[in-house]
Structure 1
Amino acid sequence: PEPAHPGAPPEDAPAPGPSRRLFVSRVVAGAAATAAVGTVGYGTYGVLRGPRVKRVTVPLAKLPRAAHGYRIAVVSDIHLGPVLGRDFAQKVVDTINSTQPDIVAVVGDLVDGSVKNLGPAAAPLRQLRAPSYFVTGNHEYFSGAEQWVEEVRRLGLHPLENARTELPYFDLAGVNDIAGESEGQGPDFGRALGDRDTARACVLLAHQPVQIHEAVRHHVDLQLSGHTHGGQLWPGNLLAAAANPTVAGLERYGDTQLYVSRGAGAWGPPTRVGAPSDITVIELAATRA
């Protein structure tokens, strides 16, 4: 018989085990999977725990000195539904009340469902201590917007449906969400902001950041929005950045400032990664001497 090739293993030698490269790749994959599960788990815990308070100072040139330090609690995208129910609403309300704001601004996407199904979940809103104002988000128009406007009014909030109210130091206005256009209830900036005294500061509640362009045209000083969830989690962050002028935080557009909250809840999976939920206390600052 032919002699074995020098260095060849004997014919009855055991088959070689997994290579080092395969072993390392499995370890890396396992570590990545563990990290992903941990990240999602922590992100879910962060949502269910309830939003944290964020504080932002916003100077307004037209604000009188007497209003320096005026506090607006901004909450958006609570998304009450099958997962985030009455207990979650209670956490949101308790957190808002703890900040002792002068007013509360609920800037849309309160619910994902009908008044019939979610009315009890929204009931804690009745406990908000400061005067509270509400504008619709796109999800209200998937959930029966007219019924929800009446429900929040019954709970003591003041809906601003393309309307404004003159508070002692500034005008507070609100416009309907863009999604209302399909029902003939879209935003009407002229109705909300026309004929006002432009020497007074104006704060606008508008669910979607993209509404800032109309706000600039109507000489609004500050727009308060939500809608983006700060991206919530990948790839939502990429989609939010593509569709919105500002994804989160405070930015200036001409003479108008826009603040976008990351929201209190979550839509879809109750998970946030890199975009923690918040309730923002906006403290207005007068710049007049």
Structure 2
Amino acid sequence: MIVLVVLGALLVLALLTLVHWYLWRRLVRDVSAPGGRWRRTGTVLAVVLPLLSVGALVGGRAFPIAVERWFAWPGYLWLAVLLYLLLGLAVGELARPLLLRLPSRATRAAAVPDVPASDAPTADTRTSDEPGVNEPGVNEPGSDEPAAPAVQAAPSPERRLFVARAVAIGASGAAAAVVGTGMYGVLRGPRLKQVTVPLAKLPAGAHGYRIAVVSDIHLGPILGRAHTQRIVDTINAAKPDLITIVGDLVDGTVPELGRDAEPLAQLRARDGAYFVTGNHEYFSGAAPWVDFVRELGVHPLQNARVELGGFDLAGVNDIAGEREGDGPDFGRALGDRDPARTAVLLSHQPVTIHDAVRHGVDLQLSGHTHGGQLWPGNFVAELANPTVAGLARYGDTQLYVTRGAGAWGPPVRVGAPSDITLVTLASLRA
């Protein structure tokens, strides 16, 4: 096992080295003179930025959070910029040959010489006895003598430098715009999204019941107390009947992040607020966080169930807890309930939907995927999850997956905006 971890780490380092060498070549070497200021600066950045990213990725287990923040902001942001720089340069590689072949201004001028009007011939006045007229192969239609092919001159060094700089500036500008917009969306806070879910067994009296679903808040070295407060204010303004926090609340320990989570005590709903663990809670110490959110007035559902007015609300621990003997137990959470009642299940990861189907759950609420977070990450997320975002049906069970309210790693979202979802239950008997 240790050998596999070491080999995996070496493979990642080798890939990072190769990628940054390519970026250095395209963004530094190809666009600058040897010994110049940009050549020196770019070379230093090509070494320092990946080191900061590695520090951000391992910092949570190696440093206190106050130190980790120094790595997290530049290191994680660089990972997002790196992704879109590579995509931009990939487009540039396709465009580069075309840009090199386009004629320059000097070439176009040389192709159309400036001929004085007095010297221009007005008509062909040569007779058949003059040279070049009606001779085989010269101005004769149907001659078998092929015309000499035009020779394409190789692009000049100046042209190559111009194209290299144009591609570098275009890719860098596009990456900066995409990452800047995606970061603004995260730091601004999630927007409220509304979804209506019809349930066959829901009694008419529960028609219109509203559940606020929030997941993947990811308090940590970047997102802190202000982020939590924005989420709480958005939820309370929606006036839900029930609030559910579906895992991945934190990326750190209670001593480090407890103060950042304190605004959760302000959550207000008629039937209260409930919480289930996500995989990141087990990276940070799940048991202390369960106790802490309980102190804040949020009720943990650890493989447990409560009966509300119109349905049963159940919650299971995250799959990551299996390594600590604290994984999901669907029998304990759902085994002895009345099957005639509607069951709503809180489960962090969508992959548990098949267990939910077997236990007769009507609606599962999940998160975990972030909707892919950074396009084209949604295509990768689809390989590991039955549903990446939105509402889907599996047999008689419906699954709703929220994109989450925060971000892991880079505080950036592209093509997967953060959300808090207000799920309205609709009775077919109403």
Q: TM-score, normalised by structure 2?
A: 0.62
How far does residue 195 in structure 1 lie from its aligned partner after superposition?
A: 1.1
Is there any run of 5+ residues in structure 2 with no aligned partner, and where? 1-109, 111-154
Aligned residue in 1 for 2:34 = none
Please point out which of 201, 212, 219 is paired with 1:73. 212
Aligned residue in 2 for 1:11 = none
Q: Distance in 2 between matches of 1:264 and 1:109?
A: 10
Q: Distance in 1 between matches of 2:388 and 2:307?
A: 29
* 2:148 equivalent to 1:18: no
Q: Distance in 2 between matches of 1:88 and 1:35?
A: 27
AA partner of residue 276 (structure 1): P
Deviation digits for residues 10-50 of structure 1, max 9, x if unmatched? xxxxx95622x653453244222201111101101110110
Percent identity over paired residues: 73
* 2:353 equivalent to 1:212: yes
Deviation digits for residues 200-228 of structure 1, max 9, x if unmatched? 10100000000000000000000000000
Across the aligned residues of Structure 1 and Structure 2, the Cα RMSD in angstroms comes to 1.5
Please point out which of 364, 387, 407 is paired with 1:223. 364
Aligned residue in 2 for 1:257 = 398
> After superposition, where does 1:25-174 map in structure 2 within 5 Å?
26-130=165-269, 131-174=272-315
Q: Distance in 1 between matches of 2:377 and 2:249?
A: 19
Deviation digits for residues 62-114 of structure 1, max 9, x if unmatched? 11111111000000000001110001000010011011000001000000000
Please point out which of 340, 345, 348 is paired with 1:199. 340
Q: Distance in 2 between matches of 1:49 and 1:41?
A: 12
Aligned residue in 2 for 1:3 = none
Q: Distance in 1 between matches of 2:286 and 2:365?
A: 20
AA partner of residue 54 (structure 1): K
> After superposition, where does 1:271-286 map in structure 2 within 5 Å?
271-286=412-427
Q: Distance in 2 between matches of 1:18 and 1:138?
A: 54
Classify the secondary structure of the residue corresponding to 2:417: coil
Larger relative contact order (C-alpha < 8 A, sep ≥ 6)? Answer: 1
* 2:404 equivalent to 1:266: no
Classify the secondary structure of the residue corresponding to 1:18: helix
Q: Distance in 2 between matches of 1:242 and 1:223?
A: 20
CA gap of 1:16–1:216, structure 2 versus 1, over 3 A, is closer
Q: Distance in 1 between matches of 2:321 and 2:376?
A: 26
Classify the secondary structure of the residue corresponding to 2:158: coil
Q: Distance in 2 between matches of 1:270 and 1:16?
A: 43
Q: Distance in 2 between matches of 1:34 and 1:53?
A: 31
AA partner of residue 203 (structure 2): P
Larger Rg: 2
AA partner of residue 81 (structure 1): G
Q: Distance in 2 between matches of 1:213 and 1:16?
A: 62
Aligned residue in 2 for 1:185 = 326
Q: Distance in 2 between matches of 1:247 and 1:217?
A: 21
Q: Distance in 2 between matches of 1:78 and 1:86?
A: 11
The structure with the largest helix share of the pair is: 2
Classify the secondary structure of the residue corresponding to 1:266: coil
Q: Distance in 1 between matches of 2:223 and 2:281?
A: 16
Q: Contact (CA 8 Å) 2:375, 2:416: kept in 1 or not?
A: no
Deviation digits for residues 100-151 of structure 1, max 9, x if unmatched? 0000010000000000110000000000011100000000001110000000
CA gap of 1:16–1:223, structure 2 versus 1, over 3 A, is closer
Q: Which moved more, 1:212-221 or 1:33-42?
A: 33-42
The structure with the largest strand share of the pair is: 1
Classify the secondary structure of the residue corresponding to 2:422: strand
Aligned residue in 2 for 1:4 = none
CA gap of 1:210–1:16, structure 2 versus 1, over 3 A, is closer
Aligned residue in 1 for 2:21 = none
Q: Distance in 2 between matches of 1:28 and 1:200?
A: 61
Give structure 1 regions of 4+ aligned residues with deviation exceeding 4 angstroms.
none
Q: Distance in 1 between matches of 2:338 and 2:300?
A: 22
How far does residue 235 in structure 1 lie from its aligned partner after superposition?
A: 4.9
Q: Contact (CA 8 Å) 2:249, 2:278: kept in 1 or not?
A: yes
Q: Distance in 2 between matches of 1:217 and 1:273?
A: 35
